[in-house]
Amino acid sequence: MSLTDPRYSVLFEPVKIGPVTAPNRFYQVPHCNGMAHARPKSLAAMRGVKAEGGWGVVSTEEVEIHPSADLNPVIEGRLWSDDDIPYHAKTVEAIHEHGSLAAIQLAYNGMAAANLFTRIPPMGPSNMSVVWDFGDPVQARAMDKDDIRNLRQWYRDAARRAQIAGYDIVYMYAGHNMVTPMHFLSRRYNDRSDEYGGSVENRARLIGELLEDIKEEVGQTCGIAFRFAVDEMRGPEGITWEEEGRAVVEMYAELPDLWDVNVADWSNDSQTARFAPQEGYQTKYTKEVKKLTTKPVVGVGRFTSADGMVSQLKNGYLDMIGAARPSIADPFLPNKIRDNRIEEIRECIGCNICVSGDNMSVPIRCTQNPTMGEEWRRGWHPEKIEKAENPDPVLVVGSGPAGMEAALQLSNRGHPVTLAEAGTELGGRVARESRLPGLASYIRVRDYREHYLLTRPDVDIYFDSKLSGDDILEFGFEHVIVATGSKWKRTGQGRDNRNVIKGLDKIKVVTPDDIMDGVEVTGRVVVYDLDYYYMASTLAEKLRAAGHEVAYVSDASTAASWTAMTLEQERVQASLVENGVSLHLNSVITEAAVDGVALENIYSEEEEKLACDTLLLVTERAPLDGIYLDLKARPDELKEAGIKTLELIGDAYAPGTIAASVYSGHKAARLFPNCQDDPDMFKWERPAVV
């Protein structure tokens, strides 16, 4: 008997995509992962877990089809020759093992690739600089008719190879401002005067040709998906729904077997919760596409609510629920809905830490799902953990993301757990930070874990329990894990500034902890950001909204510079400017005085005086490792108290991201009782020598 709530059964209907049929409406759209061609075993294991979790379609990342468009150092898929087929076959096999369809996203990046590896000059519709994040001084040459003929052949070759590898769905990709078919369509990149330039019909010609070519080549056995950027959200300068988006959908409405609706660029498609808090933020476009085609339409929008998904279908906005991030945070989301375990869904918090992995060419990681990227190299599974041979009781001190995750996973392994928390709620930093503007969804890190911890009979939680070393010695637990977190420094030290800022005793100094504790801020505020992530800009906006005059100072040349990795930086800086926060970049604070701070420009050494009443230091954090160090220094007493293992995890071990804390807690539970790394437990993929 099916457990599925009848309200959600529509999500489990099969969907025909050309000659193939998806078993349900859950569609993992293509997403990058920093593994791809460089780490094919890791990749296959990760995609396999998605299929196991119930995603009816599991797609690859973008896959380069020819060496003349090479994305190095970014690691994407590769299908340059027949030699690349076996590693794709491995991914397909892992997906098919669970009855899902495997989709491949063929990509020719043209003028969005600098070809740093192959050293072939890139090509595109026109003779123009490459449009690529690293800003290499490289230009693309304009493609002539031979180049276009060759390109069409390369797509055919790649489609055939994809078919041999076993893929069920082959994508033509014209999204994210990343690929040649989209560049041809774009008014700002296409200055051609031949039949591929000028009118929308001409600029869209290549798209139609490629769709037809791929269909002719493999359409008998493979569904043909078209991922298309219907709007770039940059007004008339970019592709707009009114000018090109609608026209292309109308022109080729029935040509592909499925429309994957995209909004370019990547920062618009993968908006963080800070800037797009609601699910389904692309519905405006998908519902228009739905009106123009009879073919299934898939779209994304950080969908994690089953009711929200059903309403997308019922309202006729979508046919399949597209997801990258929700499938990363919870590869088992579909199965949990199917099996009526909705409260067990690990909801994506919309932080884009997953995206940062791809941007830095390292394997994907996720704040909510610490097993993401670890499926092969550590053998971690998002829903399974080995039972402990000796399930001894464990005391976990501190209930932030590290302590909660350790407690939950130790409980999953069969250990009775006592969780002691100094405060009155679970969640540590996520509980506090989620009260800041734009970060409300961060509470999901707590909520997912709290759901289990509060109901487990073998988990005891004690609030208002700020433990000392002596308390711990008295309790007599054999195993103690300290997860007491960190606090922001009050000295101004951070990054290259290793000295305590002079004169801090003369001015009111606050830290993010103070603001989150409700300490009153007076008058004009200077926010000093050496952290580069979200905290300083978030607090600057909060204080500005409360009516303070706010100046933002950082030695970086952009505001919240690391948020470029999470695709947020431009929005952060624009938002600061719009909200009237004055920016003082490339500057360090050299001294504080009663009425303000002295700045020095790091390039010109020019000095500037900024009047202020409160200085908010967002520079770096100090681990709160006091009780651990205290106990560690008392080995005889530890022994006498019967404490066999004492471990330090999370921010108390080394302050980092929330993702790092969750990971640290998870790793501690997996490796327990030795919570730190054993090198033998970590595999990595080596290049083949023969």
Q: Which of 115, 368, 399, 664 binds ligand SF4 (CB under 6 A)?
A: 368
The catalytic position among 171, 173, 189, 533 is 173
Nearer to ligand SF4, 107 or 445 (CB): 445
**Binding to ligand SF4, residues 305-334 (CB under 6 A):** 325, 328-329
Active site residue 269: yes
Nearer to ligand ADP, 296 or 398 (CB): 398
Q: What is the largest CA-CA distance in the chain?
A: 86
435 lines the binding site for ligand ADP (CB under 6 A) = no
Question: How far is the C-alpha of 380 from the C-alpha of 413, rounded, in Å?
Answer: 13
**Beta strands at 139-142 and 128-129: parallel, antiparallel or unpaired:** antiparallel
**DSSP-assigned states of every residue in 523-577:** SSEEEEESS-SHHHHHHHHHHHHTT--EEEEESSSSTTGGGGGGT-HHHHHHHHH
> Rg of the chain's alpha carbons, rounded to an integer?
27
18 lines the binding site for ligand ADP (CB under 6 A) = no
650 lines the binding site for ligand ADP (CB under 6 A) = yes
Query: Residue 149: which of ligand ADP, ligand SF4, none does it interact with, CB under 5 to 8 A by kind?
Result: none
The token duo for 58 is: 């599991």
483 lines the binding site for ligand ADP (CB under 6 A) = yes
Residue 559 burial by CB count (10 A; 0-12/13-18/19+): exposed, middle or buried? buried
**Residue (of 457, 383, 469) closest to 418 by Cα position:** 457
Minimum CB separation of residue 648 from ligand ADP in Å reads 10
The token duo for 652 is: 């108390």
Nearer to ligand ADP, 142 or 422 (CB): 422
654 lines the binding site for ligand ADP (CB under 6 A) = no
Residues that bind ligand SF4 (rule: CB under 6 A) add up to a total of 13
Q: Which amino acid is at 497?
A: N
Nearer to ligand SF4, 68 or 352 (CB): 352
Nearer to ligand SF4, 350 or 398 (CB): 350
Q: Which of 33, 312, 367, 661 binds ligand SF4 (CB under 6 A)?
A: 367
Query: Residue 102: which of ligand ADP, ligand SF4, none does it interact with, CB under 5 to 8 A by kind?
Result: none
Query: Residue 319: which of ligand ADP, ligand SF4, none does it interact with, CB under 5 to 8 A by kind?
Result: none
Q: What are phi and psi of 362, to 5 degrees?
A: -125, 160
| CA atoms lying within 13 Å on the CB side of residue 473 | 17
Q: What are the residue ranges of helices labelled H in 366-416?
A: 401-412
**Residue (of 580, 587, 577) closest to 549 by Cα position:** 580
Q: Which of 63, 111, 366, 572 binds ligand SF4 (CB under 6 A)?
A: 366
Minimum CB separation of residue 689 from ligand ADP in Å reads 41
Minimum CB separation of residue 428 from ligand ADP in Å reads 2
Minimum CB separation of residue 242 from ligand SF4 in Å reads 31
Active site residue 173: yes
Nearer to ligand SF4, 69 or 353 (CB): 353
The catalytic position among 176, 183, 548, 666 is 176
Minimum CB separation of residue 487 from ligand ADP in Å reads 8
**Consecutive H or E run containing 646:** strand 645-648
**Consecutive H or E run containing 128:** strand 128-129
Active site residue 176: yes
363 lines the binding site for ligand SF4 (CB under 6 A) = no
Beta strand segments in 398-515, E: 417-420, 459-462, 479-482, 486-488, 508-510
497 lines the binding site for ligand SF4 (CB under 6 A) = no
In the chain, count H helices and then E strands. Answer: 23, 29
Minimum CB separation of residue 368 from ligand ADP in Å reads 14
Q: Partners of 662 in the beta sheet?
A: none
Q: Which of 352, 411, 563, 664 binds ligand SF4 (CB under 6 A)?
A: 352
Q: Which residues contact 334 (CB under 8 A, 6 or more apart)?
A: 11, 24, 26, 53, 54, 55, 56
469 lines the binding site for ligand ADP (CB under 6 A) = no
- Tokens 């431009």: give the residue: 570
484 lines the binding site for ligand ADP (CB under 6 A) = yes
CB atoms within 10 A of CB 377: 18
**Residue (of 326, 377, 175) closest to 263 by Cα position:** 175
Query: Residue 400: which of ligand ADP, ligand SF4, none does it interact with, CB under 5 to 8 A by kind?
Result: ligand ADP
Stretch that binds ligand SF4, among 365-373, 385-393, 415-423, 535-543 (CB under 6 A): 365-373
423 lines the binding site for ligand ADP (CB under 6 A) = yes
Active site residue 348: no
Query: Residue 368: which of ligand SF4, ligand ADP, none does it interact with, CB under 5 to 8 A by kind?
Result: ligand SF4
Q: What are phi and psi of 4, to 5 degrees?
A: -65, 130
Torsion 548-553-559-565 (CA) sign: negative
- For the chain, what's the residue count? 690
Q: Which of 400, 438, 492, 494 binds ligand ADP (CB under 6 A)?
A: 400
Tell me the C-alpha to C-alpha distance, in Å, between residue 331 and each of 48, 318, 370, 537.
Answer: 10, 21, 12, 32
Stretch that binds ligand ADP, among 2-10, 73-81, 339-347, 647-655 (CB under 6 A): 647-655
Q: Which of 35, 51, 106, 353 binds ligand SF4 (CB under 6 A)?
A: 353
Contact pattern from residue 267 through residue 306 relative to ligand SF4, giving x for each residue in contact according to CB under 6 A and a dash for the rest = ----------------------------------------
- The residues binding ligand SF4 (CB under 6 A) are 325, 328-329, 348-354, 366-368
Where along the sequence are the contacts to ligand ADP (CB under 6 A)? 397-403, 420-423, 428-429, 465-467, 483-486, 624, 627, 650-652, 661
The residues annotated with a catalytic role in the active site are 32, 173, 176, 269
